[in-house]
Structure formats: C-alpha cells, structure tokens
Amino acid sequence: MIRSAGVFHISTIKDVALLAGVSPATVSRVITQKGNIASETRAKVYSAMEQVNYIPIQSQALNKSGTISFSIARDPKEMLGNPFFSDVLCGISDAAKKSDYNVQFSLYYNIEEQIEKSIRLFKKKQADGFIFTSVMSSDKDLLLKSMQEKDIPFVMIGSSMNPNIFSVHNDNIRDSYMVTKYLLDKGYRNILFLTPNLKQDVMYDRMHGYRRAIEECGGDVSANIVFSSNEEVDITKALDKVMEDGIAFDAILTMECIMSLIAMKYCQSKNKSVPEDVGILSFNNATYLDKVSPSITGLNLNPAVLGAEAFQLVYDLINTNPQAMVQKSVKLPSEIIERQSTQRTLA
C-alpha cells in the first residue's frame, strides 16, 4: 500500500514491475514460480513487493489458464469491411504476448450464447478473463450482471453508465462533435449522418455530438440522420430517397469505412464532385482510405491502443484484488486524419 498526500493507493503488479525494473509478466512468473527467472531478478521483485507492500492473491495466481477471451456478439455481416475489430484484436494480441498470455477470439450471434459460453469457459478454467465490445444497449445490463454475479474478470471496450465497470473507450460525444464541427469549419452546411440502425450507446452518443455541433452553429445549417446497413444496395436506396425527397446535402459523415467508400461511389455516379460538391468523412480510419481517389478523411480512434489498454486492465483485474484498483475507466484521445475528401476550396 502506498500513501501519497493523504490518499491511499493499493499496490498492483504494475507498481512492483516498475520499481523492480521488469515487466508485469516477469513479476507474475516470480509469484507463480513458473519459468526460469534469474535469482537476481527474483530478489529485485521480492524486494519491490516488500517496499510497496504488495500481497498477491496466491489462490488465483496458481490456478490460471493463461488465456484472455476477446468476445463479440454480432452478426458477422455487420463486421465485414470494418477494420476496427481486427485492429483492436491486434492490440490485444501484442499486449498479451508481452505478458505470456494467449488470446481467444469468440464471435457469437446473440447475447445469450455469449453469456453461456463465457461462463462455461471461465468455470472450466479455459479463460481467466474477458474483453467485450460492440454490445447492444438492450443487452448490456444482462451481460454485465451475468459476469458480476459469477465474479468473472472482464473489461468493456466502450463506455458504461455503471461506475463499477472497468472500461476503455473513446469519448463518442466529443468525437462526433469534433468531426461535425470540422466539416462545418470547412464550409459544409448540410451534413448527412449516415449510420447503421444499431441500438448501441456508441451510436446514440455520436448522434448527440453531431446534433450539438449543428445546433451550436445555427444559421442555415441543417441536420439529417439517415439509417442504412453497410450493404451497397441499402446505402444506394437510402441516398436515393434523400435525393427524391429533395433533401440537400453537401457532406456525408459515415460510421464505418466501407460506408464512406460506397457513399463516394454514389456521389460520383450522380456527377457530384468530392470534395467540392460533397465532403466525405468516415468515423473510423483504415489504411485503404488513403489508397482511393480522392482519398477519404477518417477519424483515428486508436483501436490498437484500445485493445492494448483493455488487455492490461483485465490482466490487472486477474492478478490484483479488483477492489484495490482505483482507475476503472480509461478514456483515449482521437484524431482526424485529413485527406482529399474534405479539402474543399472555400470561395
């Protein structure tokens, strides 16, 4: 236990590792007495543990699978063309390697199956903890309650209203406000918000940030939210309906990279120049957005960092008394990667 300015901080494996000058994985191996650790290194670790008064939970440390499960309950079709999930998985995997952990990726069609299989994996000691993401708003309470009742270590990638949930996330209201204001500052005034009709907190938050930026701008600015799947035929129908209804638009803000490509193709088929007639910005970023012409502006959500931070948080949960952990929510920054699709020449 460390005391600073009258505040008590319960020590974790990371505190021990930092003081000993080794990795958290090395500290874990010393505690569990696994692997070949030099006597000098062991002495440093034990000394650091004593200095910060770190007490490992031996019953947990000696009975682990060494596996983290990254779990999603979504229709696979909704994930096609979205690099966010693969980038998150890469971040988790890279962080796991450093701690000698394995990563199991599980994709389920519904929340009931996800909960059942996750509990089974934990009971059979085939997974020590879980990372969840992209959870429907209607499913979130059931998932969180089920995990908490079984004392299963887990971390959410995405925000949660529950202050007792460990999570890593972007600020979706902040980010949506930022990209909408960016388009407004570029001179775009009729911005379509093109989104899948997914009942997720992330979508509600993004709509909130979008509306706030539009309302603050006032004047001749208009807001229009258009729902569509990421399938080309559905996006084409949705944009056709917009044009048939006489709704003017000079920018399209899309929620996924693949949607931005389809939106640009649609604009070009209607002889609308990008970015002069219509600006396009994707709420996610992918390397291939730089390979098309014109290249497409994207919002970098740092998915690999999200994955790495989520792993580190669930790793600490597994190896530390959860009640001792002070920081439960990690919020990461985002940045706009400007490309040709929004480089409009103002008159």
Mean pLDDT of 55-64: 56
Statement to judge: residues 213 and 324 lie in one domain: no
Looking at mean pLDDT, say which of 138-147, 159-168, 273-282 comes out highest: 273-282
- For residue 213, being part of any structural domain is answered with yes
Under the banding of pLDDT at 50, 70 and 90, the label for residue 347 is low
**HSE-up of residue 227 (Cα within 13 Å, Cβ side):** 6
pLDDT digits (tens, 9 = 90+) for 75-112: 777 665 578 888 999 999 999 988 889 999 988 888 99
Statement to judge: residues 200 and 266 lie in one domain: yes
Q: Quick check: 174 pLDDT over 90?
A: yes
Range of the domain at 217: 172-300
Mean pLDDT of the chain: 87
**HSE-up of residue 103 (Cα within 13 Å, Cβ side):** 25
Q: Quick check: 60 pLDDT over 50?
A: no
Statement to judge: residues 293 and 312 lie in one domain: no
Structural domains of the chain, count: 3
**HSE-up of residue 287 (Cα within 13 Å, Cβ side):** 2
CATH code at position 34? 1.10.260.40
Asked if 196 and 171 touch (Cβ cutoff 8 Å), the reply is no
Q: Among the three residues 10, 44, 62, which one is the final residue of a domain in this structure? A: 62
Statement to judge: residues 166 and 156 lie in one domain: yes
Dihedral over Cα of 94, 98, 102, 108: its sign: negative
